[in-house]
Amino acid sequence: MNLKYYKFLILCCAFQLSWSQTGLNSFLKPSDSLHKGRFKAVLVTEGSLVGVSLIGLNQLWYANYPKSKFHTINDSDEWLQMDKLGHTFSAYQLSRLGAQSFEWAGANKNKQLVYGASLSLGFLTAVEVMDGFSAEWGFSWSDMAANVSGAGLFVGQELLWKEQRIKLKYSFHRTRFAPQRPNKLGNGLNEEFLKDYNGQTYWLSINPHSFFKQSNLPKWLNVAVGYGASGMLSGRSETLPHINQNRFRQFYLSFDVDLERIETQSAFLKTLFSVINVVKVPLPTLEFTNDSRLKWHAFYF
């Protein structure tokens, strides 16, 4: 629930990471050993960011809805699971950005992973608990499973390979569905970007060279497998007055660019590439649907 706030925090973390590293190249470069000043600064900054976000979320969002006793809901069948992938994506990216902040501070690998995953799961769990005390929503175990999956994807790859060979990415395009239900799917681009699941695609961006290091494949070239859904005007397939839902799943196959594998000596560019690497690069794409349709996109986003 409230996925838009998870994405908002990701953007804030990304901004904090890039803003804190806009000085000289020597300042931007991650410390070779634990830098106590940087470490404390990252702890205070990220802790404050999480705290302020939760307070603001409670005042600006939950305060407008009635409270209830803590309760759980089963929303695993909503939005053709697009919202669950959004949770997985958010947890993965928050873990990644958190770990990279502590890498900049010179923390060892174990601390990077512990603090990064703790930042991600701590924030997302707190939001789920707030959902649990709201009459409008409820604590969702399927959301929590998606959160753990996202953090686990990041931490697991670091423990297994010491690198991210498979990255979760995001893309978005506007659709004709939001104007039909702007209160549900967003009114205008800023809201639609966060709320219209019909226009969102989540990607597993896989780096072949990392699996075949002796090959001549470009280090930055990825193969991307995507999932989306369309025809959704509500979470479930219920009948709505004067509205016909034709819901279907979409699967994509494309290429991608792993910006973090582009070789550069510039710490500024490395930081910039890391921040924007959450987005899949628009490239030629094949689309398959669950009703056996095939479509070619010269450039899909």
| Band of pLDDT at residue 13, cut at 50, 70 and 90 | low
| Band of pLDDT at residue 20, cut at 50, 70 and 90 | very low
Other beta carbons within 10 Å of 24: 9
Q: Calculate what percentage of the chain has a pLDDT beyond 70.
A: 90
| Band of pLDDT at residue 22, cut at 50, 70 and 90 | very low
The CA-atom distances, in angstroms, between 94 and each of 6, 112, 119, 227, 289 are: 9, 12, 7, 21, 30
8 A C-beta contact, residue 210 and residue 262: no
What does the pLDDT read at residue 21?
43
Distance CA 247, CA 161 (A): 38
Query: Which range (22-26, 27-31, 237-241) has the least confidence?
Result: 22-26
State the greatest distance between any 2 C-alpha atoms of the chain, in Å, as a whole number: 63
Residue 66's SS3 state is: coil
Residue 281's SS3 state is: coil
Mean pLDDT over 46-56 rounds to 88
User: DSSP per residue over 183-225, as a string?
Assistant: HHH-SSHHHHHHH-GGGEEEEEEE-HHHH-TTS-S-TTEEEEE
What does the pLDDT read at residue 103?
94
Q: Enter the tokens of residue 181.
A: 């239900």
Other beta carbons within 10 Å of 25: 13
| Band of pLDDT at residue 75, cut at 50, 70 and 90 | very high
Q: How big is the chain, counted in residues?
A: 301
| Band of pLDDT at residue 130, cut at 50, 70 and 90 | very high
Query: What sign has the CA pseudo-torsion 81, 143, 282, 226?
Result: negative
